[in-house]
């Protein structure tokens, strides 16, 4: 191909892209499409309705009743009816849409994001960014190739007290950090068993399953409980836990793969349809630090100085050579260690014991998801991906670490990794970095 030919093609492609997807001006409202209208989808509708620079122009879901409820919700709040779609690809093709928000089941996050990027749409995708490690890689590649703004719903990156806590951690508030402990103690209950049955009227079960293998419909595989099946979810480490995984990696400043991952646990007590564990422990090792993660959906006691809130505790503890930092939804606390000198029989210091003093405390405010979405909308208008609080590189990495833990759990053995995130000498574990996709719902390799 001649240089003139290459120049022509590049110029033509740029002209087509500019004419089809004009850059928004400072006073233009971002026309948003919301895909996935379950419980979190309703939250997205309410949140975007609070943002003056945004207008929900279209909604999409495989469930007709969910679409009708979403339209009524928007009409009641804003006085107009958005367009309706039963196929996200048709919504992505609409020239009226600038960006899309994807509160979808986990197994749809990657393919929907890739399709949207290919169609020239910017994307807000819920956590976890991906359903497996291969998808994390492909989502980053798609955002880069098509020059799209892709924000992941890891809203901790925009919450002021969490931003400040991590900043202080990086500035040496507890000295040299050598470890992090992420906790996801969420009391849940058995989902029981539900039989296979005919697909209810108004639900497109084929499109709901999408990349997953075709299986009979049952109530437990639909609605919220899809989280607890490997085909569609990632268990609680990839549900609530991915937030804490993200904070742990953020605080440790880790952007490289660990040398080893170990994960144990099981589904205890419950006799039901759930496939994912209700108790899980994972450990990630680097040369100079360790990160641990605990998931428990059964009764859990308080953890030392960490205060419980009802039956739940979700948060992070960072350990340094001068003390430790605790951060959660209520705020953060910094404790410094102070040795109490008690002279024992063997001389000074032999009987010393350590005590901890609270030296810094900051309470949380009420800001949560709306500021994170405002950050996304602002980036859509500015075209500055560096301004995203949780761009796809961040969200995909945090999701990938949840997947590392799940692969090690399912493999039932410690796994060693190389610098590229591949398991060393373990073909079975490497096969679990991706999945068997069902045509035509295939996340592309290129």
Domains observed in the chain: 15-157 (3.40.50.720), 160-365+394-431 (3.30.360.10)
User: What confidence score (pLDDT) does residue 367 get?
Assistant: 73
Residue 142, Cβ density class (10 Å: 0-12 exposed, 13-18 middle, ≥19 buried): buried
Instruction: Identify which of 56, 53, 61 has the alpha carbon closest to the alpha carbon of residue 44.
Output: 56
- Reported as a pLDDT band with limits 50, 70 and 90, residue 308 is confident
pLDDT in tens, 206-253: 999 999 999 999 999 999 999 999 999 999 999 999 999 999 999 999
pLDDT in tens, 163-195: 999 999 999 999 999 999 999 999 999 999 999
Q: Work out the angle at residue 89's Cα, subtended by the Cα atoms of residues 235 and 11, and round it to the nearest 5 degrees.
A: 115
**Gap between the terminal Cα atoms of the chain:** 22
User: What confidence score (pLDDT) does residue 337 get?
Assistant: 84
Task: Describe the strand order of the beta sheet including 122-125 as a list of residue ranges.
Answer: 83-85, 54-60, 30-35, 99-102, 122-125, 150-152
C-alpha to C-alpha distances, 408 to 38, 106, 262, 353, nearest whole angstrom? 31, 19, 6, 38
CB 257 within 8 A of CB 419: yes
| Mean pLDDT, residues 288-300 taken together | 97
User: What confidence score (pLDDT) does residue 25 get?
Assistant: 56
CA atoms within 13 A on the CB side of 302: 7
User: What confidence score (pLDDT) does residue 262 get?
Assistant: 98
pLDDT in tens, 321-370: 999 999 999 999 999 987 643 344 444 454 456 788 999 999 998 778 99
Full-model pTM = 0.91
């Amino acid at each position: 191909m001649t240089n003139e030919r290459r120049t022509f093609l590049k110029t033509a492609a740029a002209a087509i892209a500019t004419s089809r997807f004009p850059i928004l001006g400072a006073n233009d409202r971002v026309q948003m499409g919301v895909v996935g209208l379950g419980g979190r989808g309703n939250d997205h509708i309410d949140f975007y309705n609070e943002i003056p620079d945004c207008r929900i122009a279209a909604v999409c879901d495989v469930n007709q009743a969910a679409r009708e409820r979403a339209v009524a919700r928007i009409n009641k709040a804003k006085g107009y009816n958005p367009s309706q779609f039963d196929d996200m690809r048709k919504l992505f093709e609409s020239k009226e849409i600038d960006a899309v928000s994807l509160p979808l089941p986990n197994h749809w996050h990657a393919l929907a994001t890739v399709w949207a990027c290919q169609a020239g749409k910017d994307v807000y995708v819920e956590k976890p960014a991906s359903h497996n490690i291969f998808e994390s890689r492909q989502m980053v590649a798609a955002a880069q190739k098509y020059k799209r703004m892709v924000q992941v719903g890891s809203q901790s990156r925009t919450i002021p007290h969490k931003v400040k806590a991590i900043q202080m951690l990086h500035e040496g508030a507890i000295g040299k950090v050598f470890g992090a402990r992420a906790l996801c103690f969420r009391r849940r209950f058995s989902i029981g068993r539900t039989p296979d049955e005919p697909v209810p009227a108004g639900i497109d079960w084929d499109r709901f399953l999408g990349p997953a293998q075709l299986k009979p419909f049952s109530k437990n595989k639909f609605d919220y409980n899809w989280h607890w099946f490997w085909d569609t979810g990632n268990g609680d480490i990839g549900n609530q836990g991915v937030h804490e995984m993200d904070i742990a990696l953020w605080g440790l400043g880790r952007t490289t793969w660990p040398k080893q991952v170990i994960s144990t646990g099981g589904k205890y007590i419950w006799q039901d349809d759930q496939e994912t564990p209700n108790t899980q422990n994972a450990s990630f090792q680097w040369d100079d630090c360790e990160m641990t993660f605990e998931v428990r959906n059964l009764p859990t006691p308080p953890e030392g100085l960490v205060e419980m809130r009802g039956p739940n505790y979700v948060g992070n503890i960072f350990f340094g050579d001068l003390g430790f930092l605790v951060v959660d939804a209520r705020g953060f606390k910094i404790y410094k260690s102070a040795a109490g000198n008690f002279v024992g029989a063997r001389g000074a210091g032999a009987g010393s014991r350590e005590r901890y003093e609270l030296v810094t405390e900051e309470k949380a405010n009420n800001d949560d998801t709306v500021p994170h979405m405002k950050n996304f909308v602002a980036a859509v208008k500015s075209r500055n991906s560096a301004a995203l609080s949780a761009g796809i590189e961040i969200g995909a990495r945090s999701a990938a670490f949840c997947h590392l833990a799940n692969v090690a759990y399912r493999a039932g053995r410690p796994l060693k990794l190389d610098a590229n995130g591949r398991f060393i000498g373990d073909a079975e574990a490497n096969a679990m970095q991706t999945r068997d996709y069902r045509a035509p719902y295939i996340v592309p390799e290129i």
